[in-house]
Amino acid sequence: HYGATTQDIQDTGQSLEMRDVLDELTPVLTGIIARLADLAEQHAATVAVGRTHAQPALPIGFGLKIASWVDELLRHLDRIDTARERVLAAQLFGGAGTMAGFQQHGAKLLEGFARRLGLHAPAIGWHTARDRVVEYATVLAMASGTLGRVADEIRTLSRPEFGELREAWRPGKVGSSTMPHKRNPEGCEQVVVM
């Protein structure tokens, strides 16, 4: 191990995996936000039923509802961006976190190691401090929760008794294998499940 521990390697590997997920998630969220922002602008004056407690309340512009989704997703994008420095950290502190195996070169070695991997060099070892992983999971859960909420609203409002929204449809998409007249909101249901 040359002064590193298995935990150093596992934690750093986990940080690299977390980075890869955030790198994939950021453009996906950015694309969703851009599409929703376009729809919000397009439907700013489209009259829709405003609801509180899932019950009809007052008329609203449908764009307002979409804008609220955009606002929430923008906060998640900001959370992802600001969390990167805290959660994407290298780990190279050796046994008991002392860097003793690296003699006086520990801090310099950590800096170079972190830079080469595109991670941050923490001030101290974090073998037992798992708040980085918890923050990462929390940010993902929050973004997933918002996407699930949006998808559930689209799914609910696409019910025939409401008929206010529906999932995008394209030729060749199957609504139901046995009832071709149906347009099941499969995409929304998959987002809700996730």
* Residues catalogued as catalytic: 53, 176
Q: Using alpha carbons, list the distances in angstroms from residue 189 to 10, 144, 150, 154.
A: 35, 13, 11, 10
Distance between CA atoms of residues 157 and 84, nearest Å = 36
First to last CA, the chain: 39
Closest C-alpha to 15, from 106, 110, 102: 110
Distance between CA atoms of residues 135 and 62, nearest Å = 33
User: What is the amino acid identity at position 29?
Assistant: L
Distance between CA atoms of residues 86 and 45, nearest Å = 42
